[in-house]
A and B are shown apart, each in its own frame.
Chain A
Amino acid sequence: MTRGRFAFIIGCIGLLIGGAEVLRSPDVSASIVAASMLATMLRFATPLTLGALAGLLCERSGVANIAIEGMMLSAAFGAFLGAAVTKSLLIGVLAGMAVGVAMATLHAWLSVSLRVDQIVSGTVINIMAAGITGFLSTEVVRRQALVGAGLLPALRIPVLADLPVVGPVFQQQPIAWMALLLVPLTHLVIFHTPWGLRLRSVGELPRAAHAAGISVIRTRYTAVMIGGAIAGIGGAYFTLESVPAFEPLMTNGRGFIALAALIFGGWTPAGAWAASLLFGAANALHINAQQFGIPVPAQIVGMFPYLLTIVILAGVIGRVSPPAAVGTPYEAD
């Protein structure tokens, strides 16, 4: 993650918010536009950040993860079910994490132990998550008429939360705070602990790591499963922080965007977070375009983050390389 790219991302976010300000209709005040752009951006960025961090742990260990979507979707359902049955939101979050870990374990078993192609394994998990949650939500939720246990309450930092415009930044729900906390934490773990060093070595040159006495298989399992837990928190966002209900396919591709954010951010926590914010800002503009009276059709604005992802991947704005061993199953002698 170069400084230049980081600056580019921040610049893009500024451009989006600035664009909203310039294009807004005169009936909407500038501070309202800024405040709701900030608030919506942070809200959208939460599951993306968590999904990207989940993918980061996985891919840094050398396991490609296109299953973030499936992990988050099944965790969203697990979190909803856990909370609805026990009427405890905390148990809901834990249930989401447990489901995330379960799906991640399946991914690890398929791609690390059975050495199934990692992209195929991810696809299997995505299809499986869509099928099983769709089936269970009609069978269990509708039949038993389960009602959600409500949403996690916002936690506000006194004084700061009362500030104009930037107030919403200091008044967020617990999972959003957790995402913000996990970014520096993941950075510390990956780049400043012995385990993080081992993790990266396994992802870059597994044979050398093996020779140095590191268990490639165990490290990969651990990384993928911790990633699953983080994806599980991200999934819980959908049913415990966004809306208090489960809808089939409700993650709606956010897992794939998270993956794009991870790549965009050059496989670093800070970069992935910044990229998540950028996608959040683009989404905020998309959602609010009509409300702000912006004369560009919402659908055109809505294409922006996806087109940007393609442009980034094509290396137009500098290349980043993935961990060297991503996609390669490890065969011990």
Chain B
Amino acid sequence: MTQAVRARLIGGLIPSLAIVTALLIGGVIIWASGPRIDGPWFGIWFVVEAYQALIEGAFGSRAATIDTVLRMVPYVFTGLAVMVGFRGGMFNIGAEGQLAVGALASAWVGFTVTSLPLVIHLPLVLLTGCLAGAIWGGIAGLLKARTGAHEVITTIMLNYVGGQLAAYLLNGVLRDRSPLNVIAQTPKVAETARLPDLVPGLHSGVILVIGVAVLVWFVLWKTTTGFELRMVGINPDAASYAGVNVVRRMTWAMGVSGMLAGLAGAVQVAGVNYRSTLGFNVGYGFDSIAIALLGRNTVSGVVLSSILFAALRTGATKLQFRTQISTDIISVIQALVLLMIAADQIIRWIYRIGPAQTEADPVAASTAPVADSESGR
């Protein structure tokens, strides 16, 4: 085996082992939270039953599978968003806020504009979501590039600003004024602003997500812009020395990252909810980071991780229904996966895999740009 092939095999092996290990530990937790009935066999049966319910809940029927796919769509978008950030040396913790403003903006265009045909209105709605997200993310990118304000803090702060803005608008000018409405949400968007169904219950955003994933892959790995972006991510000083406009690339990375998150919000509006509701998009911020890290910041990895997390979250309902174990078990399993991905020494130690090949790690470079100059005696 050549070294490259071996490295690639281990690259896929470690996330898989992390998932398996997390599910095993999750099984122990399920066993410990389950009923106390005599004998060890019951415990094992209970855990198997729980995971079986999880799988059935995710893929057991046509409706369940559609639910999983629907949940996967925003995961892929936000996962790609965080990934693009990482690749450009930026840690985007603010996908949630960018998604929220994207949803808000697209819903606004969706219900105020009413006299356009679908072929114009729908793209306009989606692009508005992209633009709002891009602005929200781009601010953090620009601030980082120009003033050094750390994007981890600014994106979190922008999450709260976005949240307050959404609360203000959804209780004010954008609120659905129909007498039946009692919560902070927009009216439903026009028919022409909705993604047509691919099959009943499944909107065509699935096609869009595949297209965008391919596009992101192409831009990052097959264009000069993408090359420069990854260069800035690995070593901004070297990139600058090589003539790359670092300020522009950092802003670009966060702008595109925010754009993808904003698109996630727009697709949720145009394909699933048909409106923007206050607080309906909680949790994407953390999940998207987990997805990008588990997917090792590759497009295929992000897609696979999204399918996994979507299946876990969708199946959890059935798991809870059948075993009375809280759906929050999924968050625990997810945290364990993430822990073992971040500290892959744990997995290497458990399964006796050799130490990591020294490869350029965009995540490390993103948050510790001075690491190399510091330790390189």
Q: Are A313 and B149 in contact (CB under 8 A)?
A: yes
Determine the distance from Cα of A123 to Cα of B326 in the docked complex, in whole angstroms. 23
Q: Are A328 and B286 in contact (CB under 8 A)?
A: no
Q: Are A120 and B367 in contact (CB under 8 A)?
A: yes
Determine the distance from Cα of A193 to Cα of B91 in the docked complex, in whole angstroms. 36
A residues 148-199 near B (Cβ < 8 Å) are: none
A residues 280-333 near B (Cβ < 8 Å) are: 297, 299-300, 302-303, 306-307, 309-310, 313-315, 325, 327-329, 331
A119-B91, A315-B149, A328-B370 known; A303 vs B335 contact (CB < 8 Å) = no
Q: Mark B317-337, 1 if CB is under 8 A from A, else 0.
A: 000000001101111101110
Q: How far is the CB of B183 from the nearest CB of chain A, in Å?
A: 16
Determine the distance from Cα of A248 to Cα of B283 in the docked complex, in whole angstroms. 13
Q: Are A315 and B147 in contact (CB under 8 A)?
A: yes
The answer to the question of A48 belonging to the interface, with a C-beta cut-off of 8 Å to chain B, is no
A110-B342, A116-B342, A135-B328 known; A328 vs B164 contact (CB < 8 Å) = no
> What is the total number of residues of chain B having a CB less than 8 Å from a CB of chain A?
54
A119-B152, A127-B338 known; A310 vs B290 contact (CB < 8 Å) = no
The answer to the question of A41 belonging to the interface, with a C-beta cut-off of 8 Å to chain B, is no
The answer to the question of B117 belonging to the interface, with a C-beta cut-off of 8 Å to chain A, is no
The answer to the question of B239 belonging to the interface, with a C-beta cut-off of 8 Å to chain A, is no
A residues 221-261 near B (Cβ < 8 Å) are: 248, 253, 256, 259-260
Determine the distance from Cα of A118 to Cα of B343 in the docked complex, in whole angstroms. 11
> What is the total number of residues of chain A having a CB less than 8 Å from a CB of chain B?
45
How would you classify the secondary structure of chain B's contact residues: helix, strand, loop or mixed? helix
Contacts of B363 in A (CB 8 A): 117, 120
Q: Are A306 and B370 in contact (CB under 8 A)?
A: no
Q: Are A310 and B331 in contact (CB under 8 A)?
A: no
Q: How far is the CB of A293 from the nearest CB of chain B, in Å?
A: 18
Contacts of A300 in B (CB 8 A): 164, 168
Identify the stretch in B155-163, B193-201, B244-252 within 8 Å (CB) of chain A at 4 or more residues: B155-163
Q: Are B286 and A310 in contact (CB under 8 A)?
A: no
Q: How far is the CB of B331 from the nearest CB of chain A, in Å?
A: 3
Q: Are A130 and B331 in contact (CB under 8 A)?
A: yes
Q: Are A66 and B152 in contact (CB under 8 A)?
A: yes
Q: Mark A87-103, 1 if CB is under 8 A from B, else 0.
A: 00000000000000000
Q: Are B332 and A135 in contact (CB under 8 A)?
A: yes
The answer to the question of B371 belonging to the interface, with a C-beta cut-off of 8 Å to chain A, is yes
Q: Are B326 and A325 in contact (CB under 8 A)?
A: no
Residue of B nearest to A325 (CB): B374
Contacts of A306 in B (CB 8 A): 157-158, 160-161, 164
Determine the distance from Cα of A260 to Cα of B157 in the docked complex, in whole angstroms. 9
Q: Are B148 and A127 in contact (CB under 8 A)?
A: no
Q: Are B153 and A124 in contact (CB under 8 A)?
A: no
**A310 touches which one: B149, B172, B329 (CB < 8 A)?**
B149
Determine the distance from Cα of A120 to Cα of B370 in the docked complex, in whole angstroms. 16
The answer to the question of B364 belonging to the interface, with a C-beta cut-off of 8 Å to chain A, is yes
Q: Are B368 and A117 in contact (CB under 8 A)?
A: yes
Determine the distance from Cα of A121 to Cα of B343 in the docked complex, in whole angstroms. 8
Determine the distance from Cα of A253 to Cα of B289 in the docked complex, in whole angstroms. 17
B residues 145-189 near A (Cβ < 8 Å) are: 146-150, 152-154, 156-161, 164-165, 167-168, 171-172
Q: Mark A249-278, 1 if CB is under 8 A from B, else 0.
A: 000010010011001000000000000000
A121-B342, A134-B331 known; A310 vs B157 contact (CB < 8 Å) = yes
B residues 320-377 near A (Cβ < 8 Å) are: 325-326, 328-332, 334-336, 338-339, 342-343, 345, 361, 363-364, 366-368, 370-371, 374-375
Can you list 19 residue pairs at the A/B interface with Cβ under 8 Å? Answer: A117-B364, A120-B293, A121-B343, A130-B335, A138-B328, A259-B153, A263-B153, A299-B167, A300-B164, A303-B165, A306-B158, A310-B149, A310-B157, A313-B149, A313-B150, A313-B157, A314-B146, A314-B149, A327-B371
A-B residue pairs, 10 tightest by C-beta: A131-B331, A299-B168, A313-B149, A135-B328, A128-B335, A138-B326, A134-B328, A119-B367, A131-B335, A306-B157
Beyond A121-B342, A123-B338, A313-B153, 6 additional pairs, beta carbon < 8 A? A64-B367, A114-B345, A132-B332, A309-B154, A313-B157, A328-B368
